[in-house]
Structure 1
């Protein structure tokens, strides 16, 4: 929320402003809205500060004194609660249920824990999406080769949400809004094609920014000493630095802050690893920051450029106090050791009952030992390993892919080589039918 956006609301003659997934730290902005006679209802799920905005209403399960039993709703989930309350006053409690598909997409894409009420909202919302998708979303699903009935939370996160977000990141978010609202399938297809183009541009920008950031890491940080990364480049596009920060966390497994310059001020995104609360770290550096907000794993911030070196120093000191060398090594927790022959239709049906999968309810991770390939081994994309595998001479063959594991291609190519694999099981579309694919998380040559 900015004063500029409030001025726009005022110019339209609107007297009520509702924020979703933001606003819990907008103390000055809410006060400014009050001076213009605009009531503000804030729906947020981020950590509040000591002083709450002087809004007409502040809905946030993390707000001090809030007795709502589930504290980890998504931003859209909080807005859905407001819609339910309004519908109850109108005497039509069923009214908001037609928006569960949007709540599900937001819940999956917002990377909130898929437990408790979030799990219920996302499950029923995905069911609605698969049974009766909106025309725009149907067009977007087909553009990504997902048929109705096959969409899951992971596909929302990695296929649908990036395309919807691409419009707002690089251009005009109205395209995405119209796609979600249109009732015309032909218009939905036009808008879907526009989002696909925007997403390709976004992906190219991602790669350019990542290359630049990797160079910046080596020039700014000593990776033998620094436990966190703080990077600033004036020309980085603000729409992609959050995505690139997440990729740097995957590569270096360190808390990462990426900043660009907007109107003379550094603004950006922060991403973290499990054992480091990045919001609390920003809080402890609050005297150096203009604004900040977020939660344990992700946050946004703005800072005067002159303060970045001191912020980098203090942020790293905090990281060194809380992170040890073991924390910098990603760990994979294996749920069960199984044989590939145990992956039967019944097994897959039982596995599906654990869905929707996401944070705090991840897909079960399995270990299978002594696996061999059929002769089909390919390195695809930038560094991905594609292969077909079997075990102990069994006729059952599975498609498998290992993202960022392409460097194993030469080691596993020998037909006599056996490998141990750690993986999850996902359904992919094959001839318009669900088909299990093994998503390899790690492997080792065993013989």
Structure 2
């Protein structure tokens, strides 16, 4: 099913040009790095203002990683795990069903097995148990005669469940990156966001914390870190998929992990890569986010993510390929559910939401799959640029997923509405909630008020941040090669957005695929291919032969018959 276009609220984005850096700093960076002015300006605006910081940014190295023992409670965690291994005590890694949780669980499992631990894992069922440590999960640990439970990407709010485990004689180590409140009474709570944690970088995802725990264990055991570094490809997969800031340590981990993906020794990851047609091809964050991660997420959304962990921890290539095939089937089912839910949600937006007056979208419906409403909420936000909450109703209760826009703290807004909610959790831009059916109308009203009290009309206009204005004639091989070293791209280090004014459209622009536009642009003797995704409605603005078009875009490279071709991916045109 192909989802139709979104109703109403077409908002022209504002172009915001980054500030001009100090001329003295600019000249120093140009001189020290021997780079063009455009590159120097972009680097300075990203906090790179001298040769040393430029080398750290452009050539991330593993020796830039911080000591894992700087994390509060890491020593306690390591000591307890080493005692468990030495005593032959059973350990259970308790993960989460998203890509961060699946890869983090896999990293922890592989490391503990290398250290000789008697270890199993547990991933809660998204529909039956929901997120985080559950009583059912603790009961399963008891059934397995587990003495130590280690959480990955969850547990920071599981105070009651940790207490329940303690009563059953099961020790708990929590590793989590979500925002903490009152800490659970665990043996150790490893979370860089703890107020008392001095760790220099606070934005590590769950998989990176699992890697840090493994690193600390390997150091304590005097083991070769090279064996641990083999799993950096899994760390990169989880980091990129969790949309964490790709700066500092995350940038180092993802950079080195992506390089290892090209020739991964992980048979499960190799099977997954082959199943999407990326075998032997360079893999960037875009391929991770849009091709690899959805397959793992799909099995967690539509059923159980246990198979995904089995795939990433097996040494049997045949078994891994069978699981990868099943993940592909689950992903097709997930896409069908996505499209169906999006179409229904857009119908409801048209009927129930006043896009000129309302400052948020809150929709509830029977029959929606709880595993896909988060994806659909994100797509609604893309279309109407309003904070959005979708609720899948089932009996007297509903499970909701919420997504935000830049400048709006979703978690804070839900906190203001918590009197209407049975439970909620998340962060600034994404959250989940549970709500009684009869409280939905009250929640809608309270959430609308919370948004109105926070967002100005200017906040409800999307922005395109332009790193630099250039002419097409400045886009030469040298510039393209330097910007390639800015990768890996992601939050806080997005692919640089450039703008060119007064370019001329050459030839005949056309629409291709599902509402995309393709055209050629010329300026200063340079002609470049341009593609604008989901911009078919702007085809009328493309008038061939007149140098009157302004475009905002990112530079990309396509490979055709072994040759790399520069293409501009247009973000807006006017």
**Under a length normalisation based on structure 1, what TM-score does the superposition of the two structures give?**
0.92
- What are the residue-to-residue correspondences of 1:222-241 with 2, within 5 Å? 222-241=354-373
- Equivalents in 2 of 1:434, 1:185: separation in Å? 32
Is 1:66–2:197 an aligned residue pair? Answer: yes
Is 1:402–2:402 an aligned residue pair? Answer: no
Is 1:307–2:439 an aligned residue pair? Answer: yes
Deviation of 1:41 (Å): 1.7
Whether contact under 8 Å (2:508, 2:544) holds in the other structure is no
- Equivalents in 2 of 1:104, 1:392: separation in Å? 39
Aligned in 2, Cα 1:29/1:261: closer, same or farther, shift over 3 Å?
farther
Aligned to 2:246: 114
Aligned to 2:207: 76
Aligned to 1:288: 420
Aligned in 2, Cα 1:164/1:294: closer, same or farther, shift over 3 Å?
same
Aligned in 2, Cα 1:434/1:186: closer, same or farther, shift over 3 Å?
farther
Is 1:391–2:519 an aligned residue pair? Answer: no
Aligned to 1:102: 234
Whether contact under 8 Å (2:174, 2:188) holds in the other structure is yes
Whether contact under 8 Å (2:349, 2:361) holds in the other structure is yes
Deviations 1:147-173 (A, max 9, x none): 545211122111111122111111332
Aligned to 1:442: 572
Is 1:428–2:539 an aligned residue pair? Answer: no
- Equivalents in 2 of 1:66, 1:340: separation in Å? 48
Deviations 1:65-87 (A, max 9, x none): 11111111111112221111221
Q: Which secondary structure does the structure 2 equivalent of 1:283 belong to?
A: helix
Aligned to 1:126: 258
Q: Which secondary structure does the structure 1 equivalent of 2:490 belong to?
A: coil
Aligned in 2, Cα 1:339/1:316: closer, same or farther, shift over 3 Å?
same
Which segment drifts farther, 149-158 or 172-181? 172-181
- What are the residue-to-residue correspondences of 1:1-400 with 2, within 5 Å? 1-49=133-181, 51-92=182-223, 94=225, 95-132=227-264, 134-148=266-280, 150-262=282-394, 264-375=396-507, 377-387=509-519, 389-392=520-523, 394=525, 397-400=527-530
Whether contact under 8 Å (2:473, 2:524) holds in the other structure is no
The size of the alignment, in residue pairs, is: 441
Aligned in 2, Cα 1:16/1:386: closer, same or farther, shift over 3 Å?
farther
Whether contact under 8 Å (1:257, 1:269) holds in the other structure is yes
Q: CA RMSD in A?
A: 2.3
Deviation of 1:195 (Å): 2.1
- Equivalents in 1 of 2:146, 2:179: separation in Å? 28
Aligned in 2, Cα 1:120/1:220: closer, same or farther, shift over 3 Å?
same
Whether contact under 8 Å (2:246, 2:490) holds in the other structure is yes
Q: Which secondary structure does the structure 2 equivalent of 1:332 belong to?
A: strand
Deviation of 1:206 (Å): 0.8
Which segment drifts farther, 73-82 or 417-426? 417-426
- Equivalents in 2 of 1:279, 1:5: separation in Å? 26
Deviation of 1:135 (Å): 3.2
Whether contact under 8 Å (2:401, 2:432) holds in the other structure is yes
- Equivalents in 1 of 2:266, 2:154: separation in Å? 26
Whether contact under 8 Å (2:311, 2:320) holds in the other structure is yes
Aligned to 2:105: none
Deviation of 1:110 (Å): 0.6
Whether contact under 8 Å (1:150, 1:429) holds in the other structure is no
Q: Which secondary structure does the structure 2 equivalent of 1:222 belong to?
A: coil
Q: Which secondary structure does the structure 1 equivalent of 2:299 belong to?
A: helix
Aligned in 2, Cα 1:418/1:133: closer, same or farther, shift over 3 Å?
farther
- Equivalents in 2 of 1:187, 1:341: separation in Å? 52
Over 6 Å off, 4+ runs: none
Deviation of 1:433 (Å): 5.3
Whether contact under 8 Å (1:336, 1:365) holds in the other structure is yes
Deviation of 1:345 (Å): 2.5
Aligned in 2, Cα 1:143/1:385: closer, same or farther, shift over 3 Å?
farther
Larger Rg: 2
Q: Which secondary structure does the structure 2 equivalent of 1:127 belong to?
A: helix
Unaligned runs of 5+ in 2: 1-132
Deviation of 1:62 (Å): 1.1
Deviation of 1:184 (Å): 4.4
Aligned in 2, Cα 1:400/1:135: closer, same or farther, shift over 3 Å?
farther
Deviation of 1:276 (Å): 0.9
Whether contact under 8 Å (2:175, 2:210) holds in the other structure is yes
Whether contact under 8 Å (1:150, 1:434) holds in the other structure is no
Whether contact under 8 Å (2:266, 2:312) holds in the other structure is yes
Aligned in 2, Cα 1:203/1:423: closer, same or farther, shift over 3 Å?
same
Deviations 1:199-255 (A, max 9, x none): 222112111111111122233332222211222112110111111111111111111
Unaligned runs of 5+ in 1: none
Deviation of 1:397 (Å): 4.7
- Equivalents in 1 of 2:452, 2:538: separation in Å? 33
